[in-house]
């Protein structure tokens, strides 16, 4: 009997839970009625709307439950593509004085601060309420230039004072996007597309960090310091050439993934990152061909070739490191990856400093040895090896 009662209670609680979480059963306190609704699959969110196809007007309410007063919520339509960048967002949160703020914000970059601005379509009757750990955004949208199927994005994140801070970059927060048919009510998520783009961005970052950011400085260390060791000559040149060529090939692959990402993200531009990447590609190409056209050591142009090759090489290393950190700012990965790269740079710098000190030690020692040998030869030439005199 107790088991039957327990099962009945569990089933009844599940029924109440499903009843409470179903958008179709929800009644608005303002007695507003919406003919269509969708239970969004992530972040405890629900969308209610009325769509007038003749005027392409949408009267909507976006509900985001399970949030505290220290969070912001957002719902957006992306007229150009799927995902975050390009989205035209409605933002709402409760301010520190207890009042609600609701405003519009166009999102043009992944580093957005959700600044207030006009959207690409008219918005009216925008308001928001917060009650029982739920924020509801009300608005009327005029979608003249859009079809009845739209790309939607919804999100939540913490507040920093009375301003939105960055939302989490894992779990449901990176899956909350999809398409919505305003006529049929059918909605689909775009998790596969989003994951694919995220994977390409990560591949692009890894390839460029390994090639331009790690292999290129290692190649420079080989070129400058291994020649000090007699046993490493001419192996130092082949190690240097191998590192530089490998860095170039891997870097070209990373550059290609960047071009592909750019073509898949219209309107998304990182001008300085792209410009430095193009410059690196051109300089890297020159460096690879310079290795093939290197004059022999005794050639009269070898001195000028050394100046050119070293100057371009150091410029590539500096620009590569700058662009890697710009990439970190764009991808915004976990801090451990940026710290790991900084650690690699510190280790390389320590090795370079130690080898630089040893190089100067060898240089001074060889110079002293050469001077001593010259002096010894001078004495022998004056006095003779047997002490009986000799012609100079």
What is the predicted pLDDT for the residue at 268?
59
The rounded Cα 94 to chain-centroid distance in angstroms is 30
Please tell me whether 310 is known to bind a ligand: no
Residue 204 annotated as binding?
Answer: yes
3-state secondary structure at position 177: strand
- How many angstroms separate the CA atoms of 285 and 249, rounded? 10
* Residue 192: pLDDT band with limits 50, 70, 90: very low
Cβ burial, residue 129 (10 Å; 0-12/13-18/19+): middle
Question: CA distances (Å), 276 to each of 255, 270, 281, 330, in order?
Answer: 11, 10, 9, 14
pLDDT of amino acid 10: 38
Residue 18 pLDDT class (50, 70, 90 cuts) = very low
pLDDT confidence tier of residue 378, bands split at 50, 70 and 90: low
- Specify whether the CB–CB gap between 102 and 140 falls below 8 A: no
pLDDT for the residue numbered 130:
94
Q: pLDDT > 70: what percent of the chain?
A: 81
pLDDT higher than 80, residue 323: yes
CA 303, CA 282: separation in Å to the nearest integer? 23
Identify any residues that bridge with 155 across adjacent strands, giving them in sequence order.
74
What ranges make up the beta strands (E) of the chain?
A: 36-39, 45-52, 57-65, 71-78, 88-94, 100-106, 123-131, 134-142, 149-160, 163-164, 177-181, 187-189
More confident residue, 392 or 283: 283
How much is the average pLDDT of 290-316?
82
Cα–Cα distance, 92 to 71 (Å, whole number):
9
Q: What is the mean pLDDT of residues 122-150?
A: 90
191 and 245 Cβ atoms separated by less than 8 Å: no
Give how far Cα 346 sits from Cα of 41, 301, 339, Å. 45, 36, 10
Asked if pLDDT for residue 379 goes beyond 70, the answer is: no
Structure tokens at 237: 């040149």
Q: Quick one: how many helices (H) and strands (E) in the chain?
A: 7, 12
Is pLDDT above 50 for 20? no
Q: Is 61 helix (H, G, I), strand (E, B) or coil?
A: strand
230 vs 363, higher pLDDT = 363
pTM for this model (two decimals): 0.50
Cα torsion through 3, 6, 11, 14, rounded to 10: -150
Q: Which two tokens stand for residue 45?
A: 């969110």
- Give the residue among 154, 102, 108 at the shortest CA–CA distance from 124: 102
CA angle 105, 110, 114 (to 5 degrees): 25
- What stretch of H or E contains 251? helix 235-264
């Amino acid at each position: 009997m107790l088991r039957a009662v327990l099962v009945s209670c569990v089933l009844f609680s599940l029924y109440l839970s499903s009843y409470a979480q179903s958008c179709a059963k929800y009644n608005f306190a303002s007695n507003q009625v919406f003919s269509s609704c969708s239970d969004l699959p992530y972040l405890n969110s629900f969308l209610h709307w009325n769509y007038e196809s003749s005027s392409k007007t949408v009267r909507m309410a976006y509900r985001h439950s399970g949030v505290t007063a220290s969070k912001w919520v957002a719902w957006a339509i992306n007229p150009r593509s799927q995902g975050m960048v390009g989205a035209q967002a409605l933002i709402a949160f409760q301010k520190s004085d207890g009042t609600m703020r609701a405003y519009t914000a166009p999102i043009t970059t992944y580093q957005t601060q959700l600044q207030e601005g006009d959207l690409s379509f008219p918005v009216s009757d925008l308001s928001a309420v917060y009650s029982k750990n739920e924020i509801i955004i009300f608005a009327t949208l005029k979608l003249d230039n859009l079809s009845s199927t739209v790309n939607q994005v919804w999100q939540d994140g913490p507040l920093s004072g009375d301003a939105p801070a960055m939302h989490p970059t894992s779990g449901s927060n990176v899956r909350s996007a999809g398409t919505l048919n305003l006529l049929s009510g059918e909605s689909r998520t775009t998790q596969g597309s989003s994951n694919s783009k995220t994977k390409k961005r990560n591949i692009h970052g890894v390839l460029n960090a390994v090639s331009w950011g790690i292999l290129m400085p290692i190649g420079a260390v080989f070129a400058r310091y291994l020649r000090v060791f007699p046993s490493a000559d001419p192996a130092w040149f082949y190690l240097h050439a191998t590192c530089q060529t490998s860095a170039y090939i891997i870097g070209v692959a990373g550059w290609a993934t960047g071009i592909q990402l750019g073509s898949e993200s219209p309107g998304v531009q990182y001008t300085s990152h792209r410009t430095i990447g193009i410059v690196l590609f051109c300089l890297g190409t020159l460096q690879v061909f310079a290795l093939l056209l290197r004059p022999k050591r005794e050639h009269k142009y070898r001195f000028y070739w050394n100046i050119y090759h070293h100057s371009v090489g150091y410029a590539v290393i500096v620009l590569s490191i700058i662009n890697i950190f710009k990439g970190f700012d764009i991808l915004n990965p976990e801090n451990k990856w940026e710290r790991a790269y900084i650690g690699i740079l510190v280790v390389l710098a320590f090795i370079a400093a130690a080898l630089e000190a040893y190089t100067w030690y060898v240089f001074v020692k060889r110079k002293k040895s050469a001077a001593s040998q010259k002096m010894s030869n001078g004495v022998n030439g004056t006095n003779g090896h047997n002490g009986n005199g000799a012609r100079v």
